[in-house]
Structure 1
Amino acid sequence: MSDLPQVILFDIDGTLLSTGGAGMKAFYSAIENNYPAQLKKCGGSLTLDMAGSTDSGLVIEIFAALGIEDSATERESFFAEYLQCLKNNLSDPSYTGSLMPGISELLDRLSYEANNGKLILGLLTGNIFAGAALKLKKYRVDEYFFFGAYGDDHHDRNELGPIALKRGGSYHKLELTGAPVTVIGDTPKDIYCARAMGAQAVAVSSGSISHQELANYDPDLLFKDFTDYEDAYRRICLG
């Protein structure tokens, strides 16, 4: 059994919080604002499968659909527009976002253990770093997270786990190779990501994917939400 602390990596959208559609709308607004002519040629709209995707992966998909050459400059331009739209939307009261049920209490419980050296909390999210920071600050959970892996680190979510562990090790001045790792998310892609790094896969059906559909992917643990946060803590951390 490892003497290293358990590393718990949280997804953001659908797991920690919902922006009430502010994030999704910001993405589509950035497409409309930056590429109106190309969008018109494609029939005026695009449909994106955002659940569990990385922002970089979505941009690759968008550029391919619109016939736009993928480059660092083009990505920078797109994400600058996206972040401005996201800032505007997060300050718009018509988007009624919130933390997911039980998340505030669960984070407090986990943070208590983290302060005692038993756990390490981090992020593993498809959001780009700046977008993640805006969302976490808006819903006042930024204080719990000091490192993570993000959608601008790699377009493939399955590549983000080792990045998160490396950053967690650097932040906490620990070698985390061999540490027990848990990935918590609300989509099949989160489960796949956990499997890719040999982590415990914890799924929660608080997002857009149904409880039964998530069950079909055989996560190690499956919750409807974290309302019973003490039960969630015991099952996730104590086995």
Structure 2
Amino acid sequence: MELMVLWDIDHTLIENAGVSKEIYAAAFTALAGRAPVGPARTEGRTDRLIMRDMFQRNGLAEPDWTAVEGALSDAGKARRQDLSRRGAALPGVREVLKEVSVRSSWVSSVLTGNIADNARVKVAAFGLDPLLDLAVGAYGADAVQRPDLVAVARERARRLRDARDGVPVVLVGDTPRDVEAALATGSEIIAVASGVHSAEELADAGARTVLPDLIDTGRVLRILDAIAAR
């Protein structure tokens, strides 16, 4: 029974304790020469959209994406120690990732709005990177809109891990945008109310499976097993 499980990072796998917004502010400042007028608006958006929005709200033209990505990468690397010190892997995450990682016919990776460099910084800060197949993940530089990242991850899994076409995909995330990405691409969704959005908000967005957190490893595995068996 094959399965592809794609985990969101911020507020699903880790608590970043505000470091993410500091990364966006630092990248903006490096490119614009001044601090932004307000914090980044994230909530499941890709880095492309987050930075575009910051420049628009500050009345500035958006720089070339290569420069933006480089500034984000530099800002993320510079804050890895802050993230390790102030943030944390969320309860139950390490245990469930370990269990999923040993399923020989499953692919377990990430689908995140973060660029690849910063996604690696965030999971490595808490020792989660060996439990994820990051090479087949989909990242914030790969597409503007989150639903388009699903096809990116599918293609990488097919090319790098010989995943068959049509293998079931499950997104695990904490925002309505994670739910919307699943619904738009025919993927399954496990919504987790571990971020700023309540279980009711996630259900209203269309999630049929909503968990308070990832603490109950057995429950998460039963849900994933049932999807793989369909």
For the criterion TM > 0.5, the same-fold answer is yes
Aligned to 1:63: 55
How far apart are 1:78 and its partner, in Å?
A: 3.0
How far apart are 1:70 and its partner, in Å?
A: 3.3
Superposed CA offset, 1:145-183 (max 9, x none): 2211110011111111111100011111233x2211111
Secondary structure (helix, strand or coil) at the match of 1:153 reads coil
Query: Amino acid of the residue matched to residue 209 of structure 2?
Result: L
Aligned to 2:68: 78
Match of 1:15 among 12, 28, 32: 12
- Please give the root-mean-square deviation of Cα atoms over the aligned residues, in Å: 2.0
- The 1-side partners of 2:92 and 2:226 are apart by 18
Aligned to 2:92: 102
- Conserved? CA contact 1:122–1:168, under 8 Å: no
- The 2-side partners of 1:111 and 1:70 are apart by 39
Aligned to 2:26: 29
Distance 1:20 1:80, change over 3 A: same
- Conserved? CA contact 1:19–1:90, under 8 Å: no
Q: Which runs of 4+ in 1 moved over 6 A?
A: none
- Identity percentage of aligned residues: 27
Aligned to 2:114: 127
Aligned to 1:217: 205
Match of 1:138 among 125, 128, 131: 125
Superposed CA offset, 1:69-105 (max 9, x none): 3353xx3333333322222222137951111110101
Query: Amino acid of the residue matched to residue 95 of structure 2?
Result: E
Moved more, 222-231 or 212-221: 212-221
- The 2-side partners of 1:124 and 1:85 are apart by 21
- The 2-side partners of 1:78 and 1:9 are apart by 25
- Conserved? CA contact 2:3–2:169, under 8 Å: yes
Aligned to 1:162: 151
Distance 1:95 1:34, change over 3 A: farther
Aligned to 2:163: 174
- Conserved? CA contact 1:51–1:187, under 8 Å: yes
Aligned to 2:174: 186
How far apart are 1:217 and its partner, in Å?
A: 1.6
Secondary structure (helix, strand or coil) at the match of 2:166 reads coil
- The 1-side partners of 2:200 and 2:83 are apart by 33
What stretches of structure 1 of length at least 5 have no aligned partner?
none
Aligned to 1:196: 184
Distance 1:164 1:89, change over 3 A: same
Query: Amino acid of the residue matched to residue 178 of structure 1?
Result: G
- Conserved? CA contact 1:200–1:220, under 8 Å: no
- The 2-side partners of 1:199 and 1:207 are apart by 21
- Conserved? CA contact 2:180–2:206, under 8 Å: no
With the length of structure 2 as denominator, give the TM-score of the two structures: 0.89
Question: Which one has the largest radius of gyration?
Answer: 1
- The 2-side partners of 1:229 and 1:29 are apart by 37
Secondary structure (helix, strand or coil) at the match of 1:208 reads coil
- Conserved? CA contact 2:101–2:132, under 8 Å: no
With the length of structure 1 as denominator, give the TM-score of the two structures: 0.86
Query: Amino acid of the residue matched to residue 130 of structure 1?
Result: D
